[in-house]
């Protein structure tokens, strides 16, 4: 693999001479001998072709040929091949913070288009250009509500993703914010900064949400579900994760979250916002706008310590929605729901009860022994879902599931 070693001896000596040392070893004199790695126990060097063969032989040992019905926030969705081809172009892959708009127009335009798409999906007026993930979006939205309301108590639904709840509690603990969990909203909520709910909730249930008359409403949503269900236009803040928009499961990330809100809360939204204006020639131009991050203003006035966004993930989501189009996006969501309901009906015919009343692509089933059920499915190359307790399993289906997959699941359970 010498073709990847760009510095020959002549270049190395020139570099060493320019910094005033005679050898590479001189650069490490300050490190004690006992702290150095004297010899690396490596196998003999291989050629590039030999390395490729070796990697392929190791990859064959991985047993990845499973059909997955696992969801709980991360889903096996169809991703058009062109997305990675475009997103992996060096102009995007190496782009960092677009502080200089004159040389970052492409990145800034993608961020702006992403924000526009999220607003269209959620029914909100403004969206940021992503935060780290859905859990971060939830926590940051709660801090946002606390700043707006000047109250330090919040209501959070027990039916929110448990991982999101953990992140929320961590943020709120550090901010001396009291978190009260609830199953159903009841009584006066005027003492609370906000009410946070998830729809569809963590268990897949779709519910009608009434805006509390005396506090802010934050809705965490599945953006793919918004192709079929009404957007939460009555909410004050809408958050979520964009993993279903062209991002692979990737062993847990990276993904990205978004925060969208009503226009009157614009200056409290954390993260980056890209805006569109015109240049001196009257042509469209893009720039970062409404800077509320601690890198740009006094820290005590910052909305968040988040000083980055998942621009590459946002690019993938923008490409996905562009390539799929409104019709394709709706069709993928429809197929996800169709296959989930078909599986539920198939299991019901075998006496396995679905506990949901209405759901999108995820539902809870009741079995005699969750561990034994999941293990039997695994033996038949099926990842059957997420164990909730000894008798309940959270099952998800996407457009990647076929009728054969459903029949196999029902036959093995």
Residue 326, pLDDT score: 96
- 3-state secondary structure at position 391: coil
Q: CA 186, 152, 196, 219 torsion: positive or negative?
A: positive
Mapping DSSP onto H, E and C, the string for 98-156 reads CCCHHHCHHHHHHHHHHHHHHHHHHCCCEECCCECCHHHHHHHHHHHHHHHHCCCEEEE
Query: What residues are paired with 284 via a beta bridge?
Result: 278
Residue 150, pLDDT score: 96
Give the span between the Cα atoms of 214 and 119, in whole angstroms.
Answer: 25
Place of tokens 């991703």: 79
Which residues, in sequence order, are CB contacts of 204 under 8 Å at separation 6+?
71, 356, 359, 360, 361, 362, 363, 364, 394, 396
CB 333 within 8 A of CB 228: yes
Q: pTM to 2 decimals? A: 0.86
Report domain extents, the chain. 67-79+326-412, 81-318
Which residues, in sequence order, are CB contacts of 279 under 8 Å at separation 6+?
285
- Find out whether the peptide bond into 128 is cis, omega within 30 degrees of 0: no
Cα-trace Rg, the chain:
25
CATH topology for the 81-318 domain:
3.40.640
Phi, psi at residue 91, to the nearest 5°? -60, -35
User: Per CATH, the architecture of 67-79+326-412 is what?
Assistant: Alpha-Beta Complex (3.90)
Give the span between the Cα atoms of 249 and 174, in whole angstroms.
Answer: 30
Query: What residues are paired with 240 via a beta bridge?
Result: 221, 258
Q: Taking the chain, what is the end-to-end CA distance rounded to the nearest angstrom?
A: 50
CB 202 within 8 A of CB 160: yes
Residue 1, pLDDT score: 41
List the pLDDT tens digit at each of the 413 positions of the chain. Answer: 445 566 888 989 999 999 999 998 898 888 998 888 877 888 888 888 999 999 999 988 887 789 999 999 999 999 999 999 999 888 787 666 777 788 889 889 999 999 999 999 999 999 999 999 999 999 999 999 999 999 999 999 999 999 999 999 999 999 999 999 999 887 899 999 999 999 999 999 999 999 999 999 999 999 999 999 999 999 999 999 999 999 999 988 999 999 999 999 999 998 889 999 999 999 999 988 887 655 566 667 777 777 667 889 999 999 999 999 999 999 999 999 999 999 999 999 999 999 999 999 999 999 999 999 999 999 999 999 999 999 999 999 999 999 999 999 999 98
CB 1 within 8 A of CB 47: yes
């Amino acid at each position: 693999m010498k073709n990847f070693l760009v510095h020959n001896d002549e270049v190395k000596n020139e570099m060493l001479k320019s910094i005033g040392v005679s050898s590479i070893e001189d650069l490490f004199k300050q490190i004690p001998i006992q702290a150095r790695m004297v010899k690396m126990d490596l196998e003999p060097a291989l050629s590039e072709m030999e390395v490729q063969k070796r990697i392929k032989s190791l990859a064959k040992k991985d047993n990845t040929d499973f059909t997955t019905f696992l969801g709980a926030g991360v889903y096996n969705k169809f991703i058009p091949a062109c997305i990675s081809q475009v997103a992996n172009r060096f102009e995007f892959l190496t782009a960092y913070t677009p502080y200089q708009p004159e040389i970052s127009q492409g990145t800034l335009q993608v961020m702006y288009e992403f924000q526009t798409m999220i607003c269209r999906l959620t029914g909100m007026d403004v969206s940021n250009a992503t935060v780290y993930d859905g859990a971060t979006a939830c926590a940051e939205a709660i801090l946002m509500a606390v700043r707006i309301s000047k109250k330090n108590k919040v209501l959070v639904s027990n039916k929110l993703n448990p991982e999101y709840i953990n992140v929320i509690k961590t943020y709120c603990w550090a901010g001396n914010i009291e978190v009260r969990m609830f199953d159903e909203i009841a009584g006066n909520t005027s003492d609370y900064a906000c009410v946070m709910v998830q729809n569809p909730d963590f268990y897949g249930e779709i519910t009608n949400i009434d805006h509390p008359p005396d506090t802010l409403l934050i809705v965490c949503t599945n953006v793919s579900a918004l192709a079929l269900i009404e957007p939460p236009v009555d909410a004050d803040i809408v958050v979520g994760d964009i993993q279903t928009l062209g991002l692979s499961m990737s062993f847990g990330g990276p993904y990205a979250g978004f925060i969208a809100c009503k226009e009157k809360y614009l200056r409290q939204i954390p993260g980056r916002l890209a805006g569109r204006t015109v240049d001196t020639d009257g042509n469209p131009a893009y720039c970062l706008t409404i800077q509320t991050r601690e890198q740009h203003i006094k820290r005590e006035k910052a909305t968040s310590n988040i000083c980055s966004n998942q621009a590459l993930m946002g690019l993938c989501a923008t490409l996905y929605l562009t390539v799929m189009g409104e019709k394709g996006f709706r069709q993928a969501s429809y197929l996800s729901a169709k296959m989930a309901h078909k599986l539920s009906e198939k299991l019901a015919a075998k006496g396995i009860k679905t506990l949901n009343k209405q759901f999108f692509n995820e539902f809870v089933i009741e079995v005699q022994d969750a561990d034994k059920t999941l293990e039997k499915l695994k033996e038949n190359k099926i990842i059957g879902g997420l164990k909730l307790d000894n008798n309940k399993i959270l099952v998800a289906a996407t457009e990647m599931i076929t009728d054969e997959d459903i029949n196999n699941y029902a036959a093995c359970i």
